[in-house]
Amino acid sequence: MSDVKKVVLAYSGGLDTSVIVKWLQEEYQCEVVTFTADLGQGEEVEPARAKAQALGIKEIYIEDLREEFVRDFVFPMFRANTIYEGEYLLGTSIARPLIAKRLIEIANETGADAISHGATGKGNDQVRFELGAYALKPGVKVIAPWREWDLTSRETLMAYCEKHEIPVDFSTTKKKSPYSMDANLLHISYEGDMLEDPWTEAESDMWRWSVSPEDAPDEATYIEIGYEKGDAVSINGEALSPATILEQLNKIGGANGIGRADIVENRFVGMKARGCYETPGGTILLKSHRAIESITLDREAAHLKDEMMPRYAKVIYNGFWWSEERKMMQAMIDASQEFVTGTVRLKLYKGNVIVVGRQSPYSLFDSSIATFEDDAGAYDQKDAAGFIKLNALRMRIAAQKGRSFLKDEE
């Protein structure tokens, strides 16, 4: 007899998690609570309620978390201009800590002593879910069916459904796409099938959120994004909520062929994996945020942020959102955003995001000093001579002591 009395399952309503519901009931003889999150994946989540009810579930949580997702997770990450291994905007990674948080909160509300998820034993998501769960509820039991059962293919899952009379519509269980996909308001990802060969180009009809750059409009689209303390707050002068901003930028960017990426990344579990991503709104936000920072951040503050960013990105990618080091770095990042307020004007054209203007009431750009014209004495160019000599002093001394870089002087 299992010591698990009640478990909260991250439930999509699809084949895998429907099997997991029944498997948990059979293997652990426990009550199952389902939790379905709307993170802007573009599919209806309410049908999951009827599917859960058909499986005998009495406690069903279906929640719209789009605003919380963007406001409390995506935007804090973008304040750091976060990008993993130079290309990945962490669309899947940043959604997992929020799901883990709600799993634990629901477990506390319902008196559950375990949580469960449908992540496989090969990927990063199992790590992200479970690190978050343990950080928020150290004694919680985590059940990961893919690491326990012997159901290793879609065919065995469907056979299990037939055997246990799980109400799955078998006419719709064939994949609409050959790829393993994950979507939320920040991105949509594609893995598996032909993408497992890193030499093979992705099929043109795979992409769902964006037109190809070749098919994008021949006329550029201009937009203006307003910022307050590092967060986007408006598009073209219209104040919008965080989720609405990202949703609209996804549509605008996708229509202009923006945000596609084909990446081979290093997973935390050790393997390399190829994934294709569409992140149109995030690509625009990354470019525009750096633009507003370029005129509002002090040079050394900006450089310090850039030096810290890869560490911050790795922390998020590896699932340590709820760690002390992430909180420490976040406090530093957020402090840097006090004066990151203003407007950025962008030109979107055939897959490109081009900054064409930026302004801020807190701008550190002083045209009277930077001008190539007469600066009326604002900057004394003679001062540069001493500045250069002082900075050259250590290298001059080294050269005088025989440490020359010129081979003909050796």
Check residue 284 and give its pLDDT.
98
Which own/partner pairs from 152-158 qualify as long-range (CB within 8 Å, at least 24 positions apart)? 154/15, 157/15, 157/16, 157/19, 158/15
Architecture of domain 6-77+90-174 in this structure: 3-Layer(aba) Sandwich (3.40)
Hunting for tokens 């985590």 — which residue is that?
Answer: 142
315-345: per-residue pLDDT in tens? 999 999 999 999 999 999 999 999 999 999 9
Hunting for tokens 């449908």 — which residue is that?
Answer: 118
Gap between the Cα atoms of 317 and 87, Å rounded: 12
Mean pLDDT, residues 167-182: 65
Assess whether pLDDT exceeds 60 at residue 304: yes
Mean pLDDT, residues 33-52: 92
For the annotated catalytic residues, the residue numbers are: 16, 96, 125, 180
**SS3 category, 191:** strand
Q: How confident is the model at residue 2 (pLDDT cuts 50, 70, 90)?
A: confident
Listed range (11-20, 61-70, 162-171) with the worst mean pLDDT: 162-171
276-292: per-residue pLDDT in tens? 999 999 999 999 999 99
Check residue 173 and give its pLDDT.
44
**SS3 category, 154:** helix
Q: Are 261 and 279 in contact (CB under 8 A)?
A: yes
Mean pLDDT, residues 350-373: 92
Check residue 332 and give its pLDDT.
98
Assess whether pLDDT exceeds 60 at residue 1: no
12-30: per-residue pLDDT in tens? 888 889 899 999 999 999 9
Task: Tell me if the pTM is above 0.85.
Answer: yes
Hunting for tokens 């999150």 — which residue is that?
Answer: 37
Assess whether pLDDT exceeds 50 at residue 169: yes
**Dihedral pair phi/psi, residue 16, rounded to 5°:** -55, -55
Check residue 178 and give its pLDDT.
81
29-38: per-residue pLDDT in tens? 999 999 999 9
Architecture of domain 181-297+339-359 in this structure: Alpha-Beta Complex (3.90)
265-279: per-residue pLDDT in tens? 999 988 999 999 999
- Alpha helices (H) in 70-208, listed in sequence order: 75-78, 96-110, 125-136, 154-163
**Dihedral pair phi/psi, residue 316, rounded to 5°:** -70, -45
